[in-house]
Chains A and B, each alone.
Chain A
Amino acid sequence: MTIETAATQGKKDFKTDGSALKGNFREYGLVLALILIMLFFQFTTSGTLFRPVNLTNLVLQNSYIIIMALGMLLVIVAGHIDLSVGSVSGFVGGLAAVMMVQWHVHYIPATIICLIVGGAIGAAQGYWVAYHKIPSFIVTLAGMLVFKGLALWLLGGQSVGPFPAQFQLLSSGFIPDFFGGTTFNITSMLIGIILVALMIYFSIRGRAKREKHGYEGEPFALFIAKNVIIAGIILYLTYLLSSYKGLPNVLIVMSILIALFVFVTKRMTIGRRIYAMGGNEKAAKLSGIKTERLTFFTFVNMGVLAALAGLIFAARLNTATPKAGLGFELDVIAAVFIGGASAMGGVGQVMGAVIGAFIMGVMNNGMSIMGVNIDWQQVIKGLVLLAAVVFDVYNKNKA
């Protein structure tokens, strides 16, 4: 579903005129960059990167960043920023630990409460930004300090854990194999195959629908090539993951969320309105869009996703620490900007942010395997962020 929408969305804007092509070039270029980076590390780590166990780790390590990047994309497209997401996710992780470990609340109601608290935190910040026009930078900077402090207070400066086994599955569990494969997860592979089938079905249907309405799509050869390549990549990655433990649960959660956000931004009126607001708030307002409410919503959404990310991170470490979430906001924001979003608002794609997050993740992972020191890792990541944005600006000025 995820890749389906991404694939058709490329097609949707595909017209014979050059400007639309150029827009897609950005997205293709990003995918290409990710592939090149992966190949580079595959080579320099002598094949470690694509090992099933490492690939699984890559997904687990980056899931919470990607999930927050989805919310951050909307916030940035709306023309704002949220610096508090790291602290909020740390705070919510702590809250989960206190509820489940110390108060023995069942993990399902505890999870739900945590997500609601995340939403409430987003609402509290969004309220000031949307209805009082306080710059989001300031409001969320305050939020960052407040929730960092509250997390410390809540945990009493201690680590709290371990979590109930059921809850840990959120991060460390895999799709169970109903077919009893011993060294190979057959169910996971089947899911991959079904996904590819669905993707091809929707691709062909979308193309047929366009043609029925008399709009030309991309050249047939390109259409086939693109679908074959994407199908090939998905099947190969699924195969690799299946030959380890299967698809991680968190990958399923993440994929569903990515698909949902692609759909919301591409196909739903609310997504369209957020882009319109980020592009020109005054014009959007004069077009009858309730800009305040929309801004408020993007922050609530961000809060819920930060809470979810906090839960996943806590479940992964199996303990909540006062330092959890430290600096996450920087990775999340970097992912969104590498993915092509504009700091001025109005521009940015969900898939771009996801790929941006993966680029950062693969670099972290690859450099760690290579034994690059953490200090130089930071330097290199910083330079990549700058290069990506400079490249964008340069392209825009040329066009």
Chain B
Amino acid sequence: METILEMRNITKTFPGVKALNNVNLSVRKGEIHALVGENGAGKSTLMKVLSGVYPHGSYEGEIHYNGEEQHFRDIGDSERKGIIIIHQELALVPLLSIAENIFLGNEPAKFGIIDWHIAESRTRDLLAKVGLKEDPLTLITNLGVGKQQLVEIAKALSKEVELLILDEPTASLNEKDSDALLALLLEFKAQGISSILISHKLNEVGKVADRITVLRDGATIETLDKDQISEDRIVTSMVGRQLADRFPQREPNIGEVVFEVKDWVVHHHIHGDRTVINGINLNVRKGEVVGIAGLMGAGRTEFAMSVFGKAYGQKISGEVFVKGKKVDVSTIGKAVDNGIAYVTEDRKTYGLNLIDHIKHNTTIAHLDGVSKNGVIDDMAELKVANEYRRKTNIRSSSIYQKTGNLSGGNQQKVVLSKWLFANPDLLILDEPTRGIDVGAKYEIYSIINQLVSEGKSVLMISSEMPELLGVCDRIYVMNQGRLVGEMPAAEASQEKIMRAIIRAEGKAS
């Protein structure tokens, strides 16, 4: 069979991280090629290299498409060649109509005047192709996620697509919509359109994919043919890596239960009828590091933020106990006062004041600790900031360096300092090592160890399973807003966690 796309020895480096390392991917004409791997394995990065989001020259390696080597400088370049990517987060303008969205930036126009008759009639044809029965003038905001996904695909079709890339297209779809979408992919295949399907749901991959390429740690592990595809094989391939000395040793010294959540239910912050967290019960003991494993979108962040002063969601019900006493966590202030701290996964948006320096960022969550009657004691604050800078080993010229100019790892340490200074009993860490290099990761793990040895407790959310296995004492597995597994880290393995997730996915979809 003819090859449409050949990516050879692609290497992409970010400051401090090698995101892709000699990755090879070859897609045949008219096949559905699945790309699987853990979060952070490099799937999205690879697709960004392909579509020109990372322009030619910012990576090493070659892209051959339809037999020619390509040097895409931006998305426009790749789109002109018929490579269309549909991202996980949909890129539609909510207050424009279907037709306006489909032809956005590509309007049928003469001298800048749009011919809406053509746009609408072509939209109608495209919608028919994807099986969506909606008026072209309907606003996107009035469509459900599944239908929006179809609009995205119709938009791709409007551009004479030859290679369609779908990044987790069914992540937010229900079973019926997912099936419809997969059926559509098969139909495209019949018309000769090739697709790359990025998905976590191995059952649907098994249903439609002709071949599967597995990525792990930014490298191609193997490409499997349809007849070789089995869940066991994929799981082993996805997670089979060595746990070398990437994690500092710790002697666990675990006490009584410090933190407990009972029957926690949270609804979506906009769509109040959608249950995001469904009856979670968990506990954390003194001096214990407890992990929450799960795929992206499993509801882990939503759970953590809803516990932390109801910072996420609505119609929240359930009870929180700290040291055996029921506590009120209805505002962030109360949650902090009751000894809970939450270190966000998105430090730039939710963690730091990037235009201010380390000192001010360190004390902001606990200004009472350096002030009296509302007046800040300069010397006390200086001392605290310097102390935590040393403690967490922040590399900067001084505590007066702007946090916006620090590296990701050091930024993370500032966020940690902030919450360590607030002196919580339970520290919730949400993806504490996302996007930071291996060395800084080790330092963060050391800080975690130091913390629990001082008698604090840690609840850690991470999408990197080796990290959970290396750092935690106990691991919960979450999927679609429910806990679907609990195991001591000693008995846990990546296969076990993956299996728990996949079993639950199978039940759900």
Which of A19, A285, A289 touches B401 (beta carbons < 8 Å)? A19
Q: How far apart are the CA atoms of A226 and B193 in the complex, in Å?
A: 74
Residue B383 at the chain A interface, CB threshold 8 Å = yes
Q: B452: CB under 8 A from chain A? A: no
Which of chain A's residues has its CB closest to B359's CB? A13
Chain B min CB distance to A24 (Å): 11
CB <8 Å contact, A288 and B397: no
Residues on the B chain within 8 Å of A284, using CB:
353, 364
A287 adjacent to B382 (CB under 8 Å):
no
Residue B376 at the chain A interface, CB threshold 8 Å: yes
- Looking at chain A's contact residues, is the secondary structure mostly helix, strand, loop, or mixed? helix
B371 at the binding interface (Cβ < 8 Å): yes
Q: Is the CB of A269 within 8 A of B367?
A: yes
- Distance in Å from the Cβ of A346 to the closest Cβ of chain B? 5
Interface contact B402-A19, CB-CB below 8 Å: yes
* Max count, chain A CB within 10 A of own CB: residue among B335, B342, B355, B371: B355
- Name the prevailing secondary structure of the B interface residues: mixed
Q: Pick from A267, A280, A289: contact of B376, CB below 8 A.
A: A267
Decide if B353 touches A276 in the complex (CB within 8 Å). yes
In the complex, chain B residues whose CB is within 8 Å of the CB of A283: 349-353
Chain A, interface size category, equals 20 to 34
CB distance from A83 to the nearest CB of B (A): 25
A269 and B365 CA atoms in complex are apart in Å by 11
Tell me which residues across on chain A come within 8 A of B353, comparing CB atoms. Answer: 275-276, 279-280, 283-284, 346
Are A17 and B356 touching (Cβ within 8 A)? no
B interface size (C-beta, 8 A): 38
Contacts A19-B397, A267-B376 given; indicate if A290 touches B333 (C-beta within 8 A): yes
Instruction: Please tell me if B113 contacts chain A, counting CB pairs below 8 Å.
Output: no
A17 touches B365 (CB 8 A): no
Check A272/B376 contact, CB under 8 A, given A19-B401, A289-B364. yes
Within the complex, which residue of A16, A267, A346 is in contact with B356, where a contact is CB–CB below 8 Å?
A346
Once the chains bind, are B360 and A272 in contact (CB under 8 Å)? Answer: yes
Tell whether A213 is near chain B: CB-to-CB under 8 Å: yes
> CB < 8 Å: which of A19, A270, A280, A287 contacts B400?
A19
Q: How far is the CB of B102 from chain A (nearest CB, A)?
A: 31
CA separation between A119 and B397, bound complex, in Å?
Answer: 44
Set A13, A20, A267, A272: member contacting B364, Cβ < 8 A: A272
Question: Quick one: given A276-B360, A282-B350, A287-B365, are A269 and B371 in contact (CB under 8 Å)?
Answer: yes
Cβ of A209 under 8 Å from chain B: yes
Which residues 248-282 in B have Cβ within 8 Å of A in the complex?
Answer: none
Q: In the complex, which residues of chain A have a beta carbon less than 8 angstroms from the beta carbon of B354?
A: 279-280
User: Is A215 positioned at the interface, with any CB of B under 8 Å from its CB?
Assistant: yes
With contacts A282-B350, A346-B353 known, is A287 near B311, CB below 8 A? no
Q: Could you tell me the distance between the alpha carbons of A376 and B367 in the complex, rounded to whole angstroms?
A: 49
Docked Cα-Cα span, A332 to B334, in Å, equals: 38
Taken together as a complex, chains A and B put the C-alpha atoms of A273 and B309 apart, in Å, by 19
Contact between A288 and B356 (Cβ–Cβ < 8 Å)? no
Q: Which residues of A contact B355 (CB under 8 A)?
A: 279-280, 342, 346-347
Q: Is the CB of A288 within 8 A of B371?
A: no
Q: In the complex, what distance in Å separates the CA atom of A215 from the CA atom of B342?
A: 32
- Report if A381 contacts B (CB, 8 A): no
Within the complex, the shortest CB–CB distance from A351 to chain B, in Å, comes to 17
B374 pairs with A270, CB closer than 8 A = yes
Interchain Cβ contacts under 8 Å between A and B, 10 examples:
A16-B398, A17-B401, A18-B397, A213-B379, A268-B371, A269-B371, A269-B374, A279-B353, A279-B356, A346-B356
